[in-house]
Copies of this chain bind each other. A is one copy, B any other.
Protein backbone atom coordinates (compact mmCIF):
# COMPACT_ATOMS: atom_id res chain seq x y z
CA UNK A 1 0.00 0.00 0.00
CA UNK A 2 1.23 3.53 -0.76
CA UNK A 3 -0.52 6.90 -0.58
CA UNK A 4 0.24 10.47 -1.61
CA UNK A 5 0.13 13.24 0.98
CA UNK A 6 -2.93 14.53 -0.87
CA UNK A 7 -4.67 11.22 -0.24
CA UNK A 8 -3.62 11.18 3.41
CA UNK A 9 -4.93 14.72 3.87
CA UNK A 10 -8.30 13.64 2.52
CA UNK A 11 -8.32 10.54 4.67
CA UNK A 12 -7.48 12.40 7.87
CA UNK A 13 -9.16 15.76 7.28
CA UNK A 14 -5.70 17.38 7.40
CA UNK A 15 -3.95 19.90 5.20
CA UNK A 16 -0.80 19.37 3.14
CA UNK A 17 2.15 21.71 3.66
CA UNK A 18 4.71 21.06 0.92
CA UNK A 19 4.39 18.76 -2.10
CA UNK A 20 1.04 16.87 -2.12
CA UNK A 21 2.46 14.34 -4.62
CA UNK A 22 4.98 12.92 -2.13
CA UNK A 23 4.34 9.18 -1.73
CA UNK A 24 4.64 7.30 1.55
CA UNK A 25 4.08 3.62 2.23
CA UNK A 26 4.77 3.08 5.92
CA UNK A 27 4.37 4.85 9.28
CA UNK A 28 7.38 4.86 11.59
CA UNK A 29 8.48 6.53 14.85
CA UNK A 30 10.30 9.82 14.22
CA UNK A 31 13.77 8.54 15.14
CA UNK A 32 13.48 5.26 13.17
CA UNK A 33 11.76 6.63 10.05
CA UNK A 34 13.37 6.23 6.61
CA UNK A 35 12.69 7.87 3.25
CA UNK A 36 9.30 6.67 2.04
CA UNK A 37 7.94 6.71 5.61
CA UNK A 38 5.56 9.17 7.20
CA UNK A 39 6.01 9.94 10.91
CA UNK A 40 4.13 12.04 13.48
CA UNK A 41 4.61 14.44 16.38
CA UNK A 42 1.80 14.43 18.91
CA UNK A 43 3.89 15.76 21.77
CA UNK A 44 5.84 19.01 21.42
CA UNK A 45 8.87 17.53 23.14
CA UNK A 46 9.53 15.51 19.99
CA UNK A 47 9.50 18.66 17.79
CA UNK A 48 13.32 18.96 17.78
CA UNK A 49 13.49 15.62 15.93
CA UNK A 50 11.56 17.13 12.99
CA UNK A 51 14.81 18.60 11.62
CA UNK A 52 16.68 15.29 11.80
CA UNK A 53 14.13 12.70 10.75
CA UNK A 54 14.66 10.90 7.45
CA UNK A 55 10.89 10.54 7.02
CA UNK A 56 9.39 11.86 3.79
CA UNK A 57 6.60 13.60 5.70
CA UNK A 58 5.39 14.37 9.24
CA UNK A 59 1.90 14.58 10.73
CA UNK A 60 1.84 17.61 13.05
CA UNK A 61 -0.52 19.89 14.96
CA UNK A 62 -1.23 23.43 13.67
CA UNK A 63 1.28 24.88 16.16
CA UNK A 64 4.09 23.07 14.33
CA UNK A 65 3.14 24.05 10.75
CA UNK A 66 6.38 26.00 10.27
CA UNK A 67 8.63 23.16 11.46
CA UNK A 68 9.87 22.54 7.91
CA UNK A 69 9.66 19.66 5.38
CA UNK A 70 6.52 18.03 3.97
CA UNK A 71 3.72 17.98 6.48
CA UNK A 72 0.18 16.87 7.12
CA UNK A 73 -1.21 19.52 9.48
CA UNK A 74 -4.07 18.09 11.54
CA UNK A 75 -6.01 19.48 14.47
CA UNK A 76 -5.77 16.07 16.15
CA UNK A 77 -2.46 14.64 14.91
CA UNK A 78 -2.76 11.53 17.07
CA UNK A 79 -6.07 10.67 15.41
CA UNK A 80 -4.62 11.43 11.99
CA UNK A 81 -1.75 9.10 12.80
CA UNK A 82 -4.19 6.35 13.81
CA UNK A 83 -6.07 6.68 10.52
CA UNK A 84 -2.86 6.72 8.50
CA UNK A 85 -1.59 3.53 10.13
CA UNK A 86 -4.93 1.90 9.46
CA UNK A 87 -4.75 2.90 5.78
CA UNK A 88 -1.10 2.07 5.11
CA UNK A 89 -0.11 -0.75 7.38
CA UNK A 90 -2.79 -2.79 9.00
CA UNK A 91 -2.99 -6.33 7.81
CA UNK A 92 -6.42 -7.88 7.85
CA UNK A 93 -7.04 -10.00 10.93
CA UNK A 94 -5.94 -13.52 10.02
CA UNK A 95 -8.30 -16.27 11.03
CA UNK A 96 -10.07 -19.30 9.64
CA UNK A 97 -12.84 -18.23 7.19
CA UNK A 98 -16.16 -20.02 7.33
CA UNK A 99 -17.27 -22.63 9.84
CA UNK A 100 -14.47 -25.06 10.62
CA UNK A 101 -15.51 -28.71 10.59
CA UNK A 102 -14.40 -29.15 14.21
CA UNK A 103 -16.61 -26.30 15.46
CA UNK A 104 -19.56 -27.58 17.50
CA UNK A 105 -22.75 -25.59 16.87
CA UNK A 106 -25.97 -26.57 18.65
CA UNK A 107 -28.96 -27.17 16.40
CA UNK A 108 -30.96 -24.37 17.98
CA UNK A 109 -28.17 -21.79 17.65
CA UNK A 110 -28.62 -19.16 14.92
CA UNK A 111 -25.70 -18.01 12.81
CA UNK A 112 -25.79 -14.78 10.72
CA UNK A 113 -24.30 -14.38 7.26
CA UNK A 114 -20.57 -14.78 6.60
CA UNK A 115 -19.84 -15.99 10.11
CA UNK A 116 -16.41 -17.50 10.78
CA UNK A 117 -16.07 -20.09 13.50
CA UNK A 118 -12.52 -21.37 14.00
CA UNK A 119 -11.41 -24.85 14.98
CA UNK A 120 -12.96 -26.25 18.18
CA UNK A 121 -15.25 -23.26 18.69
CA UNK A 122 -18.40 -24.12 20.66
CA UNK A 123 -21.74 -22.37 20.18
CA UNK A 124 -24.35 -23.71 22.59
CA UNK A 125 -28.13 -24.02 22.27
CA UNK A 126 -30.20 -20.89 21.58
CA UNK A 127 -27.14 -18.71 21.03
CA UNK A 128 -27.49 -16.02 18.33
CA UNK A 129 -24.44 -14.96 16.30
CA UNK A 130 -24.66 -11.82 14.09
CA UNK A 131 -23.45 -11.24 10.54
CA UNK A 132 -19.74 -11.28 9.75
CA UNK A 133 -18.83 -12.30 13.31
CA UNK A 134 -15.46 -14.04 13.67
CA UNK A 135 -14.98 -16.41 16.59
CA UNK A 136 -11.48 -17.81 16.83
CA UNK A 137 -10.27 -21.20 17.95
CA UNK A 138 -11.65 -22.83 21.11
CA UNK A 139 -13.74 -19.81 22.14
CA UNK A 140 -17.00 -20.66 23.87
CA UNK A 141 -20.44 -19.09 23.39
CA UNK A 142 -22.87 -20.27 26.08
CA UNK A 143 -26.57 -21.12 25.93
CA UNK A 144 -28.71 -18.23 24.81
CA UNK A 145 -25.76 -15.82 24.51
CA UNK A 146 -25.88 -13.21 21.73
CA UNK A 147 -23.02 -11.74 19.73
CA UNK A 148 -23.63 -8.65 17.53
CA UNK A 149 -22.61 -8.08 13.89
CA UNK A 150 -18.94 -7.65 13.01
CA UNK A 151 -17.66 -8.60 16.44
CA UNK A 152 -14.40 -10.55 16.81
CA UNK A 153 -13.88 -13.02 19.64
CA UNK A 154 -10.33 -14.27 20.13
CA UNK A 155 -9.15 -17.77 21.10
CA UNK A 156 -10.14 -19.39 24.37
CA UNK A 157 -12.51 -16.56 25.36
CA UNK A 158 -15.52 -17.78 27.37
CA UNK A 159 -18.91 -16.11 26.95
CA UNK A 160 -21.25 -17.55 29.60
CA UNK A 161 -24.90 -18.36 29.00
CA UNK A 162 -27.27 -15.44 28.37
CA UNK A 163 -24.49 -12.85 28.02
CA UNK A 164 -25.00 -10.22 25.34
CA UNK A 165 -22.10 -8.77 23.34
CA UNK A 166 -22.82 -5.84 20.99
CA UNK A 167 -21.73 -5.00 17.46
CA UNK A 168 -18.17 -4.28 16.31
CA UNK A 169 -16.70 -5.41 19.63
CA UNK A 170 -13.31 -7.00 20.13
CA UNK A 171 -13.12 -9.62 22.88
CA UNK A 172 -9.54 -10.77 23.39
CA UNK A 173 -8.12 -14.16 24.30
CA UNK A 174 -8.96 -15.79 27.61
CA UNK A 175 -11.60 -13.18 28.50
CA UNK A 176 -14.52 -14.37 30.67
CA UNK A 177 -17.88 -12.62 30.25
CA UNK A 178 -20.86 -13.48 32.44
CA UNK A 179 -19.14 -15.50 35.17
CA UNK A 180 -20.84 -15.42 38.57
CA UNK A 181 -20.22 -12.40 40.75
CA UNK A 182 -18.73 -12.72 44.21
CA UNK A 183 -21.96 -12.80 46.22
CA UNK A 184 -21.96 -14.67 49.52
CA UNK A 185 -24.31 -14.36 52.48
CA UNK A 186 -22.61 -15.10 55.83
CA UNK A 187 -24.34 -17.94 57.68
CA UNK A 188 -22.37 -18.22 60.90
CA UNK A 189 -18.77 -18.83 59.90
CA UNK A 190 -19.63 -20.27 56.50
CA UNK A 191 -21.00 -18.56 53.40
CA UNK A 192 -24.17 -19.28 51.43
CA UNK A 193 -24.07 -18.56 47.74
CA UNK A 194 -26.31 -15.75 46.52
CA UNK A 195 -27.58 -16.93 43.14
CA UNK A 196 -26.46 -14.66 40.33
CA UNK A 197 -29.42 -14.58 37.98
CA UNK A 198 -28.71 -11.37 36.02
CA UNK A 199 -26.80 -11.07 32.75
CA UNK A 200 -23.64 -9.40 31.44
CA UNK A 201 -24.56 -6.90 28.73
CA UNK A 202 -21.77 -5.44 26.60
CA UNK A 203 -22.64 -2.51 24.27
CA UNK A 204 -21.43 -1.79 20.74
CA UNK A 205 -17.85 -0.87 19.81
CA UNK A 206 -16.52 -2.18 23.11
CA UNK A 207 -13.03 -3.66 23.39
CA UNK A 208 -12.06 -6.01 26.22
CA UNK A 209 -8.40 -6.90 26.69
CA UNK A 210 -6.91 -10.34 27.19
CA UNK A 211 -7.73 -12.13 30.41
CA UNK A 212 -10.31 -9.60 31.65
CA UNK A 213 -13.51 -10.58 33.44
CA UNK A 214 -17.03 -9.12 33.39
CA UNK A 215 -19.39 -10.77 35.88
CA UNK A 216 -23.09 -11.36 35.27
CA UNK A 217 -25.51 -9.41 37.47
CA UNK A 218 -26.92 -10.72 40.76
CA UNK A 219 -30.55 -9.66 40.18
CA UNK A 220 -30.30 -7.04 37.43
CA UNK A 221 -27.58 -6.84 34.77
CA UNK A 222 -23.95 -5.78 34.58
CA UNK A 223 -23.74 -3.20 31.79
CA UNK A 224 -20.81 -1.90 29.74
CA UNK A 225 -21.82 1.12 27.60
CA UNK A 226 -21.12 1.67 23.92
CA UNK A 227 -17.61 2.60 22.93
CA UNK A 228 -16.00 1.74 26.27
CA UNK A 229 -12.49 0.28 26.06
CA UNK A 230 -11.21 -2.13 28.71
CA UNK A 231 -7.56 -3.18 28.91
CA UNK A 232 -6.16 -6.54 30.04
CA UNK A 233 -6.73 -8.32 33.37
CA UNK A 234 -9.54 -5.97 34.47
CA UNK A 235 -12.46 -7.18 36.62
CA UNK A 236 -15.89 -5.55 36.39
CA UNK A 237 -18.10 -7.05 39.13
CA UNK A 238 -21.79 -7.84 39.29
CA UNK A 239 -24.32 -5.10 38.69
CA UNK A 240 -21.74 -2.49 37.78
CA UNK A 241 -23.08 -0.03 35.21
CA UNK A 242 -20.46 1.59 33.02
CA UNK A 243 -21.37 4.45 30.67
CA UNK A 244 -20.16 5.13 27.14
CA UNK A 245 -16.62 5.79 25.92
CA UNK A 246 -14.86 5.01 29.17
CA UNK A 247 -11.25 3.78 29.37
CA UNK A 248 -10.21 1.25 32.03
CA UNK A 249 -6.49 0.52 32.03
CA UNK A 250 -5.09 -2.90 32.99
CA UNK A 251 -5.62 -4.45 36.45
CA UNK A 252 -8.53 -2.11 37.26
CA UNK A 253 -10.98 -3.68 39.72
CA UNK A 254 -14.52 -2.31 40.00
CA UNK A 255 -16.58 -3.72 42.89
CA UNK A 256 -20.24 -4.60 42.74
CA UNK A 257 -23.08 -2.16 41.97
CA UNK A 258 -20.81 0.79 41.12
CA UNK A 259 -22.32 3.28 38.65
CA UNK A 260 -19.80 4.91 36.31
CA UNK A 261 -20.77 7.78 33.99
CA UNK A 262 -19.69 8.46 30.41
CA UNK A 263 -16.13 9.17 29.30
CA UNK A 264 -14.57 8.18 32.61
CA UNK A 265 -10.91 7.11 32.70
CA UNK A 266 -9.61 4.72 35.35
CA UNK A 267 -5.80 4.37 35.35
CA UNK A 268 -3.92 1.10 35.81
CA UNK A 269 -4.49 -0.85 39.04
CA UNK A 270 -7.24 1.50 40.23
CA UNK A 271 -9.67 -0.12 42.68
CA UNK A 272 -13.24 1.10 43.20
CA UNK A 273 -15.20 0.07 46.30
CA UNK A 274 -18.78 -1.17 45.98
CA UNK A 275 -22.00 0.85 45.53
CA UNK A 276 -20.25 4.15 44.60
CA UNK A 277 -20.94 6.56 41.75
CA UNK A 278 -18.33 8.13 39.49
CA UNK A 279 -19.48 11.15 37.47
CA UNK A 280 -19.04 11.81 33.74
CA UNK A 281 -15.54 12.69 32.52
CA UNK A 282 -13.92 11.92 35.86
CA UNK A 283 -10.33 10.71 35.57
CA UNK A 284 -8.69 8.59 38.24
CA UNK A 285 -4.90 8.28 38.18
CA UNK A 286 -3.14 4.91 38.34
CA UNK A 287 -3.10 2.87 41.59
CA UNK A 288 -5.72 5.08 43.22
CA UNK A 289 -8.27 3.59 45.58
CA UNK A 290 -11.76 5.04 45.17
CA UNK A 291 -13.57 4.79 48.52
CA UNK A 292 -16.13 7.58 48.05
CA UNK A 293 -18.29 8.65 45.12
CA UNK A 294 -16.55 11.04 42.74
CA UNK A 295 -18.01 14.20 41.19
CA UNK A 296 -17.82 14.59 37.38
CA UNK A 297 -15.23 16.49 35.35
CA UNK A 298 -12.34 16.27 37.80
CA UNK A 299 -9.06 14.42 38.05
CA UNK A 300 -8.50 12.28 41.15
CA UNK A 301 -5.51 10.59 42.67
CA UNK A 302 -4.43 8.65 45.71
CA UNK A 303 -5.76 6.09 48.11
CA UNK A 304 -8.29 7.28 49.15
CA UNK A 305 -8.76 9.08 45.83
CA UNK A 306 -8.97 12.89 46.14
CA UNK A 307 -8.87 15.77 43.69
CA UNK A 308 -5.39 15.54 42.23
CA UNK A 309 -4.22 19.00 43.39
CA UNK A 310 -4.86 18.11 47.00
CA UNK A 311 -3.42 14.62 46.51
CA UNK A 312 -0.21 15.96 44.99
CA UNK A 313 0.23 18.54 47.76
CA UNK A 314 -0.25 15.72 50.26
CA UNK A 315 2.33 13.54 48.52
CA UNK A 316 4.79 16.43 48.37
CA UNK A 317 4.22 17.01 52.09
CA UNK A 318 4.77 13.30 52.81
CA UNK A 319 8.07 13.33 50.94
CA UNK A 320 9.19 16.22 53.17
CA UNK A 321 8.07 14.60 56.40
CA UNK A 322 11.54 13.65 57.65
CA UNK A 323 12.69 17.27 57.37
CA UNK A 324 9.40 18.53 58.83
CA UNK A 325 10.14 16.37 61.85
CA UNK A 326 13.56 17.96 62.11
CA UNK A 327 12.05 21.42 61.95
CA UNK A 328 9.69 20.60 64.78
CA UNK A 329 12.61 19.36 66.87
CA UNK A 330 14.40 22.65 66.17
CA UNK A 331 11.40 24.70 67.22
CA UNK A 332 10.95 22.64 70.36
CA UNK A 333 14.56 23.27 71.26
CA UNK A 334 14.22 27.01 70.64
CA UNK A 335 11.10 27.14 72.81
CA UNK A 336 12.95 25.40 75.62
CA UNK A 337 15.80 27.86 75.33
CA UNK A 338 13.42 30.81 75.43
CA UNK A 339 11.60 29.37 78.41
CA UNK A 340 14.90 28.90 80.22
CA UNK A 341 15.77 32.54 79.53
CA UNK A 342 12.46 33.58 80.96
CA UNK A 343 13.20 31.38 83.98
CA UNK A 344 9.62 30.28 84.30
CA UNK A 345 7.81 26.93 84.79
CA UNK A 346 6.92 27.02 81.08
CA UNK A 347 10.27 25.35 80.55
CA UNK A 348 9.29 22.35 82.59
CA UNK A 349 6.13 21.81 80.59
CA UNK A 350 7.99 21.99 77.32
CA UNK A 351 10.45 19.37 78.47
CA UNK A 352 7.58 17.00 79.19
CA UNK A 353 6.31 17.57 75.69
CA UNK A 354 9.70 16.90 74.15
CA UNK A 355 10.02 13.61 75.98
CA UNK A 356 6.68 12.34 74.72
CA UNK A 357 7.96 10.02 71.99
CA UNK A 358 5.40 7.23 72.32
CA UNK A 359 2.42 6.96 69.97
CA UNK A 360 -0.73 8.43 71.45
Residues of A within 8 A of B (CB): 27-29, 32, 76, 78-79, 81-83, 85-86, 89-91, 94-96, 100, 102, 104, 118-120, 122, 124-125, 136-138, 140, 142-144, 154-158, 160-161, 170, 172-176, 179-180, 182-187, 189-195, 197, 205, 207, 209-213, 215, 219-220, 227, 229, 231-233, 235, 237, 244-245, 247, 249-251, 253, 255, 262-263, 268-269, 271, 273, 286-287, 289, 303-304, 306, 310, 313-315, 317-328, 330-332, 334-335, 337-339, 341-342, 344, 346, 349-350, 353-354, 356-360
Contact = CB atoms under 8 A, between A and B. Distances in A.
B158 A155 contact: yes
A334 B350 contact: yes
Given A332-B327, A339-B338, A357-B323, A251 B253 contact: yes
Contacts of A138: 120, 122, 138, 140, 156
Given A81-B194, A182-B229, A317 B328 contact: no
Q: How many protomers of this protein does the assembly include?
A: 3
A29 B330 contact: no
18 contacts: A76-B185, A76-B186, A82-B194, A95-B143, A138-B140, A173-B179, A182-B229, A189-B245, A190-B205, A190-B227, A215-B232, A237-B250, A251-B251, A317-B322, A320-B325, A322-B360, A331-B332, A331-B350
A134 to B, nearest CB: 13
A122 B94 contact: no
A265 to B, nearest CB: 10
Contact of A197 (B90, B143, B269): B90
A322 B313 contact: yes
A104 B102 contact: yes
Contact of A210 (B154, B179, B318): B179
Given A78-B194, A102-B102, A189-B244, 20 more contacts: A78-B185, A82-B183, A90-B197, A119-B122, A122-B137, A138-B140, A154-B179, A176-B232, A180-B209, A182-B249, A182-B250, A210-B215, A213-B232, A314-B322, A322-B359, A323-B356, A323-B357, A326-B356, A330-B350, A338-B342
